[in-house]
Amino acid sequence: MIRTLYQSIAKPIFFRFDPEWIHETILHTLPLIGPLKPVMQNQFSFNDGRLKQTIWGLDFNTPIGLAGGFDKNARCVNLWDAFGFSFFEIGTVTPKPQPGNPKPRLFRYPHREALINRMGFNNDGSEVIAERLQHLAALPHRALMGVSLGKQFDTPVDDLDQVVDDYCTSLKRLHDYGDFFVVNVSSPNTKNLRELQQKESLQAILNALKMELQTKDKAKPLCVKFAPDLSEEQINEAVSAALECGIDGFIATNTTNQTGETESGGLSGKPLRERATEVVKLIAHITEGNVPIIGCGGILDAPDAIEKLEAGAWALQIYTGFVYRGPGVVYDLNCGILNEMDKRGFTHLSDFRKG
């Protein structure tokens, strides 16, 4: 019923407003639904042992998560499980607050089921977000939380010491709250950020973060998120560099700067599906399927999800699919994956990766 109401009533209303304004309005309003959380969980949550898996020692109830960038400032961390998400990412977070790029900076393309954003790591800063998480930590939730880390917009990429300090500062502040951490060196919306995917820069960041994690009482996994616009040679080099640093996982992919539209920024949604899957497959080949990959990009329905799993993804993230398909999309994706497992006689998600 809620899914039908979203498509027939809520979505047409939401799409009449500026995308960023309605997004922020919804995020500020969502905490008010707290008393309705059990009702929502009954509608959207999914509990089937065949979808459960343990990655990095963490229990993922289903393979579907919410991608970074949706809840940048950790306002709804106790609510994402109500929509059926098994995990989610906050951020991307920087050490100091920053406003991001000038508005407007978020655009819908309904005929393509796509979005373009050039947000620019707008966020409250890791100190404020850590304080917020401290207050929200006591609220019950069953979804795992990843933290996406980024550099300050005005930190030059060739000042590696300061770049490394940016990433490490946020990690130190948020270590106790995140279940896993993601190094964002692939957003197209922070000037020259993607240069940090080159071997020397990438390894400097990853080695420093790994060393910082080793000083903590509890080891937590570290992932890196790559751009879909890298060539095969560049992906090979970046993945190999990350493996040398002992990276725990990969997220493939971020948005693409090949938008095909007049607006610049990062394109997400259906047009990204094919290339994101190609990158998942390439990383899986390089790692021989031994390092967890979270597939992200163009997942709007079950065939999209299954395609990523077959390519080598261990888990999946959505963003644009949540915007276009609404709150029932997580349930629908899980149902579709299970139906396909039944058809093929699969008993575990890893069976997709095995072919």
| Residue 140 pLDDT exceeds 80 | no
Neighbours of 269 (CB within 10 A): 25
The proportion of the chain whose per-residue pLDDT surpasses 90, expressed as a percent, equals 89
- For this structure, is 187 an active site residue? yes
pLDDT at 12 over 70: yes
Active site residue: 148, 187, 201, 268, which one?
A: 187
pLDDT tens-digit profile of 25-63? 999 999 988 788 888 888 898 889 999 999 999 999 999
pLDDT in tens, 93-118: 999 999 999 999 999 999 999 999 99
Which pair of tokens denotes residue 97?
């607050």
**Alpha-carbon gap, residue 67 to 85, rounded angstroms:** 10
Over residues 223-280, the pLDDT tens digits come to 999 999 999 999 999 999 999 999 999 999 999 999 999 999 999 999 999 999 999 9
pLDDT tens per residue, range 185-223? 999 999 999 999 999 999 999 999 999 999 888 889 999
